[in-house]
Amino acid sequence: MDLKNLYQEVILDHNRNPHNYGAIENADASAKGYNPLCGDKITLSLSVSEDKIQDAKFEGCGCAISTASASLMTDYLKGKSFSEAHDMFELFHNAITKNDVEAEKALGKLSVLTGVKEFPARVKCATLAWHTLEAALEQNEQMVSTE
Ligand code: ZN
């Protein structure tokens, strides 16, 4: 187990300077997520029109993995349709929980997070932002928990 595989420079950069950090005023959709295993908390807000995510921002406090994942996810989401976002979540989930190599290849920039597959306790840190996204798209006002 080499921690370098987990904490790649890209991840540390996103943790130090998260992209899309903040809240969208008058957001069309939002949700809160919590990962009790690690204590990660995130609030995601989206601006949406015609089934496309126009903008995405997040706030919260968590570990480097959860912050980098939210930063990379919000970068990815801009301009994507709901179904594209769902599909990417599936790919991401398969790559880090099922060691799906084909899925991993399709991840693009998100592939820097696949090191978590060696650290099962950290998988939920990486997926928290995506679970929160699903809740926001389903207009689920309750806080989602990874547990
Ligand atoms: Zn965490």
**pLDDT of amino acid 1:** 53
State the burial class of residue 55 (Cβ atoms within 10 Å of its Cβ: 0-12, 13-18, 19+). middle
> Ligand 1 centre and the CA of 49: distance in Å?
31
> Ligand 1 centre and the CA of 66: distance in Å?
5
Q: Is the pLDDT of residue 46 over 60?
A: yes
> Ligand 1 centre and the CA of 27: distance in Å?
26
φ and ψ at residue 117, rounded to 5 degrees: -60, -25
The pTM of the full predicted model, rounded to 2 decimals, is 0.92
**Residues lying with their CB under 5 A of ligand 1, a single-atom ion:** 38, 40, 63, 66, 125
The residue that leads in pLDDT, 124 or 6, is 124
Q: Is the pLDDT of residue 73 over 80?
A: yes
